[in-house]
Structure 1
Amino acid sequence: MSITISGLFVYPIKSCGGVSLRESELGEGGLRYDRNWMVVDADGKFLTQRSHPKMALVRTELKFSELVIRAPGMLRLDILRDVIEDDDSVKVRVKVWRDEVDAVDEGDLAAHWFSTFLGEPCRLVKIHPDARRIADVARVDAWLEAHPEEAEGIARENVYAFADGFPILVANQQSLEDLNGRLRDGGHAPIAHDRFRPNIVLNGLDAFDEDYVVRLTIGDVSLALVKPCTRCEVPNTDQHTGDVGVEPMGTLSGFRSHDIGITYGVNAVVSAPAGAVLKVGDSVEAALNF
């Protein structure tokens, strides 16, 4: 079995457009710049495509030292990416799911841009450099207990930014092709992986064999696949138009429903040395447990 990385993606602003990369730095918190920013309402609570499908139309680009943001009918917005935030006046407390975490407010211009586009008061925030949002320790503990032979280097506590639950989401190209075949059989248009917003897409596994992958090894990097990703209705949002339909979740519900919900892709935590880089085309070793 020859497995490679066929796609690398980051989504700098949670629930906005992603960026396809040829290579990316990787650390404990996942791929660099992934979900480092987030749009929040007037109460500091996160906004997503679940309630605001128009966020799909916000395009992002990592250019030079800036995060470039575009949307239909809006002037381009540029945000400096790597500013060292040492001014407590811009430090704010925000909410993402059940977590409250420190963030940096990106200022009135960015707030006005997003408020205008989304039609309600909101602000753009960035994860604070000192924030420590920890992925589900109980889930990692369960994985460590179930797979002691694969546990070397995998930490119980894994820091990440504004992603829903874990630092990395892994998907499988063959699973998408299987799903698209089912969609075509049902008279529906095929979709791209942007509907599922993965970070790493693999090529070479059989369809849905990612369900059985325990650990991935890419050079000195290891990913522990600790939890199937349960899906909400966001995959039904067309990422190019913002329109919300009933597919692919309707088709997925017919063959991917489990006790925990409808699943697609697998959440992972990271073990990587300082300066680690992943590249499209990298060879991947997969430990499976059928």
Structure 2
Amino acid sequence: MKVSQLYVYPIKSLRPTALSEAILTPRGFPYDRCFMLLKVEAGENGSPSTLKNMHIPHFSEMSLFQTDIEFPKTDNDCGRVIVTHRSPGSRESQKLEVPLQPDVAGLEPLQIVMHRSPTTGYDMGAQYNEWFSERFGYAVKLAYLGSHSREVLGTLAPGKRKKSLPLPGWTLMSTEGIGKWLNPMLATAIAAKAICMIQEAVQEKPPLINAAFLFAVLAPVAVTVSYLLSTHSPEDRITFADCAPYLLISETSVSNVSARLPEGEEMDRTKFRPNIVVSGAENAFEEEFWSTLTVGPDLTRLFLRGNCVRCQSLNVDFTTGQIGTDESGNVLKKLMKDRRVDRGAKYSPVFGRYSFLDPAGAGTRICVGDEVGVSQKSAERTVFDWPGLSN
């Protein structure tokens, strides 16, 4: 199998920028979903206005905006996102250039919550807000994430522990069982005893501080540090992406969807919003049993941790910015027939896999044409787990 396409979405829910290569980071491709749009909703009875997250299933007109990226060429160049908007039926287009790495000094901070995972963004200001507002026909703000990020909720990320695990036998002393408390305490007891023995050997008299006192002082610290290390890891953070740093799909599975459309029509793979597209899979949807992939000459590992459950965005007609009126507007319904295969989201069809980078691969490069291998499979499908989103 090979990497056939790479995509980055500098502004969430707008059309993507295709790449021939990209740098892998624990939080996704650089500049992926680093901006998002928010609708300004007027308050009632004199109350302040509120901001509503804009996602393509609810704001299908977002599909009329195409993005391209000019990456920084020098240390003093911040790069730019070039946004192109074309109204349905129009031959003319309008363009806006947005700095890819804006200076946030002086920008108003915004509190943004996506899928119950909060973060802070920055209001890009009137120049950009007014351009988007004019094209949407209602007030909109463009938000920049900056150096902030969001937590991956549930157990999707590799650093997250399972919520419910059996405790009998050997698992009692694992970090997943009661061992997450006993292990640091046991280590502290051994360390305290060793310190006292060394002190006694050096001084040739009883130690000034006994092992029991050292244990009482150090054990709470050890347990706290162990807990923090086990529950918080650097790869467990994301941008304005929905649930994971990467979304991976298979060309073979896209072809399966195309076969459900009238003869001669093909499913636009970008409607699935992938970052990485893999070609050469033998069977459609076999990726749902892939656990670990290796990519490129460095055999960089990607951990496939969850299924992507689908919504109305698959039915959007990119030429009109509306829900399709022909068979392309029934893609979600077609997938409902046999793709509701995740018991964590039993009312939604599955297509694609949420993926995370092995931290050891941070900084490596992925290219179109790179070989892809399956190094680990699972006997069962994963279960979607994001608090408040599972159904």
TM-score (norm 1): 0.88
C-alpha displacement of 1:128: 2.5
Structure richer in strand, relative to its length: 1
Q: Which residue of 1 aligns with 2:51?
A: 44
The answer to whether structure 1 residue 236 and structure 2 residue 315 are counterparts is yes
Shift of residue 60 of structure 1?
A: 0.5
Alignment pair present for 1:82 and 2:165: no
Per the TM alignment, residue 174 of structure 1 is displaced from its structure 2 partner at its CA by: 0.4
Amino acid at match of 1:269: F
Higher helix share: 2
Residue 133 (structure 1) aligned with residue 147 (structure 2): no
Tell me the residue number matched to 1:183: 261
Which of residues 125, 133, 148 is equivalent to 1:107?
Answer: 125
How much has 1:79 moved relative to structure 2? 0.9
Counterpart selection for 2:300 from 210, 213, 221: 221
| Contact 1:231/1:262, CA 8 A, preserved across alignment | yes
Mapping 1:4-15, distance limit 5 Å: 4-15=2-13
SS state at 1:278 partner: strand
- Following superposition, the deviation at residue 44 of structure 1 comes to 3.0
| DSSP-derived class of the 2:110 partner | strand
Residue in structure 1 matching 2:84, options 51, 54, 70: 70
How far off its partner does 1:275 sit?
A: 2.4
- Over 3 Å counting, the alpha-carbon distance change for 1:181 and 1:89 in structure 2 is closer
2:183 maps to 1:164: no
2:121, 2:22 → 1: CA distance?
Answer: 23
Query: Per the alignment, in what secondary structure is the counterpart of residue 130 of structure 2?
Result: helix
Q: CA deviation at 1:82?
A: 1.9
| Percent identity for Structure 1 against Structure 2 | 26
Aligned partner of 1:202 in structure 2 is: 278
Report the Cα offset of residue 156 of structure 1.
7.9
Distance 1:97 1:289, change over 3 A: closer
Q: Which whole-Å CA distance do the structure 1 matches of 2:307 and 2:126 have between them?
A: 38
Question: What letter matches 2:120 in structure 1?
Answer: D
Whether the 8 Å CA contact 2:256–2:284 is kept in 1: the answer is yes
| Aligned counterparts of 2:253 and 2:94: Cα–Cα separation in 1 | 38
Deviation at 1:179, TM superposition (A): 1.5
Distance (whole Å) between structure 2 residues aligned to residue 282 and residue 241 of structure 1: 35
Cα deviation for residue 240 of structure 1 reads 3.2
Alignment gaps of 5+ in structure 1: 149-154
- The Cα shift of 1:216 comes to 1.1
RMSD, aligned CA = 2.4
Deviation at 1:182, TM superposition (A): 2.4
1:268 maps to 2:355: yes
Q: 1:194 touches 1:239 (CA, 8 Å); kept in 2? A: no
Aligned pairs, number:
277
Does 2:300 align with 1:281?
Answer: no
Residue deviations 1:218-264, cap 9 Å, x none?
22522111110000110100223313133211211112113312100
Q: Which residue of 1 aligns with 2:227?
A: none
The alignment status of 1:53 with 2:60, answered yes or no, reads yes
Per the TM alignment, residue 122 of structure 1 is displaced from its structure 2 partner at its CA by 1.1
Name the counterpart of 1:151. Answer: none
Using structure 2 for the length normalisation, give the TM-score: 0.66
Where relative contact order (Cα < 8 A, 6+ residues apart) is larger, the structure is: 1
Bigger mean CA deviation after superposition, 215-224 or 112-121: 215-224
